[in-house]
């Protein structure tokens, strides 16, 4: 698989990454998924402390137990900052927490569950309305100095929120993980429907894609297979749109001799922002088939045809 560099870091990673949000709690099944991802050439693996309440990280660590040398080959990323309802007391509400204390505690928890001494990348999972950037800066500086986290980034952050952090945080923010797929195109729509009143859906991305390109922040696309909605998984989108998009994707897949999932990922990869899709399939066959996106080159015309099908409207 082709490699890309991650933002302004010295990290080189597979251009398709793999996310562990849905990792099986069955050790053998989890190991089959992990090895399928590694065999497909994936080197960037995404976690979060909250995935399956920490169990995803804990189960993943089985891979080192059987093959310790893999730690050097995998670029390990985790996220912190989401605190679930019921933690710690039954009445505690869900909230975001970018305080110094929580960031440090969360990273300690991830390192313990992942059975590793360092994370290659730590992302702030979702913007915290009560963020105090000085605290984030202090936490990041300590984690970096202690060798516990090599690089830092954010997820679901707007340009304004990133600017605020950058004013205090000394380490470069190298990635912004955002939702992007053929069925979730808000960040692209806002550029195409610029200054028009007929934007097909509300978008408050504030130029995030262009901002990240300008500032050496790699966009990582979460749910790039749209959670399997084109493959029959539950969807709130209109049936006609799903069917139209699925038909076009299937036709292109047949034409290029790859799976529909490979076309969805090739569509994300075709954007010159250098976005790294984080696929979330746990099915070993689907992982292999999806990663063949690396071989697919979509033309400008194919990209736009797919975009219109996913949007269900013509470009203006």
Which among 4-12, 165-173, 189-197, 276-284 is the span making contact with ligand NAP, rule CB under 6 A?
276-284
CB 192 within 8 A of CB 315: yes
Q: Which is nearer to ligand NAP, 22 or 167 (CB)?
A: 22
228 binds ligand NAP, rule: CB under 6 A? yes
Which among 13-21, 187-195, 211-219, 294-302 is the span making contact with ligand NAP, rule CB under 6 A?
13-21
CB 17 within 8 A of CB 229: no
CB 279 within 8 A of CB 225: yes
H or E segment to which residue 219 belongs: strand 218-222
224 binds ligand NAP, rule: CB under 6 A? yes
H or E segment to which residue 173 belongs: strand 173-179
Which among 62-70, 92-100, 189-197, 272-280 is the span making contact with ligand NAP, rule CB under 6 A?
272-280
51 is catalytic: yes
φ/ψ region of 216 (left if φ > 0, alpha if ψ in -120 to 50, else beta) reads left
184 binds ligand NAP, rule: CB under 6 A? no
Would you give the binding string for ligand NAP spanning residues 77-106, x where CB under 6 A is met?
------------------------------
Of the candidate residues 107, 226, 276, 289, the single one contacting ligand NAP (CB under 6 A): 226
Q: Which is nearer to ligand NAP, 27 or 167 (CB)?
A: 27
282 binds ligand NAP, rule: CB under 6 A? yes
* Crossing angle of helices 260-270 and 239-256, rounded to 10°: 90
Stretch 113-132 residues interacting with ligand NAP (CB under 6 A): 125
SS3 call for 299: coil
Catalytic entry in 51, 96, 118, 304: 51
Q: Name, in order, each residue with C-beta under 8 angstroms of 82's C-beta and a sequence gap of 6 or more.
A: 48, 49, 50, 94, 96, 97, 125, 126
Residues taking part in catalysis:
51
């Amino acid at each position: 698989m082709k490699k890309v560099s991650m933002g302004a870091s010295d990290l080189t990673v597979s251009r398709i990454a793999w996310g562990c949000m849905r990792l099986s709690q069955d050790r053998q099944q989890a190991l089959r998924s992990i090895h399928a991802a590694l065999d497909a050439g994936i080197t960037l693996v995404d976690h979060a402390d909250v995935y399956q309440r920490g169990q995803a990280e804990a189960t993943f660590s089985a891979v080192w137990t059987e093959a310790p040398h893999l730690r050097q080959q995998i670029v390990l990323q985790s996220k912190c900052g989401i605190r679930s309802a019921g933690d710690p007391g039954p009445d505690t509400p869900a909230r975001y927490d970018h305080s110094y204390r929580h960031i440090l505690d969360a990273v300690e928890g991830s390192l313990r569950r992942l059975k590793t001494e360092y994370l290659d990348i730590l992302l702030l999972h979702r913007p915290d309305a009560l963020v105090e950037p000085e605290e984030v800066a202090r936490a990041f500086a300590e984690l970096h100095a202690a060798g516990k986290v090599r690089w830092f980034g954010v997820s679901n952050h707007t340009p304004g929120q990133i600017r605020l952090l950058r004013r205090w945080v000394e380490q470069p923010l190298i990635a912004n993980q955002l939702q992007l797929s053929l069925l979730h195109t808000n960040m692209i729509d806002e550029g195409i429907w610029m200054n028009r009143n007929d934007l097909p859906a509300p978008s408050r991305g504030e130029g995030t894609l262009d901002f990240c390109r300008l500032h050496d922040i790699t966009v990582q696309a979460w749910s790039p297979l749209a959670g399997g909605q084109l493959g029959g998984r539950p969807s709130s989108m209109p049936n006609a749109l799903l069917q139209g998009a699925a038909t076009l994707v299937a036709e292109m897949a047949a034409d290029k001799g790859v799976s529909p999932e490979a076309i969805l990922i090739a569509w994300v990869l075709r954007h010159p922002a250098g976005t790294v899709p984080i696929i979330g399939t746990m099915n070993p066959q689907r992982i292999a088939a999806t990663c063949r996106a690396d071989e697919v080159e979509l033309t400008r015309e194919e990209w736009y045809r797919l975009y219109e099908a996913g949007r269900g409207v013509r470009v203006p």
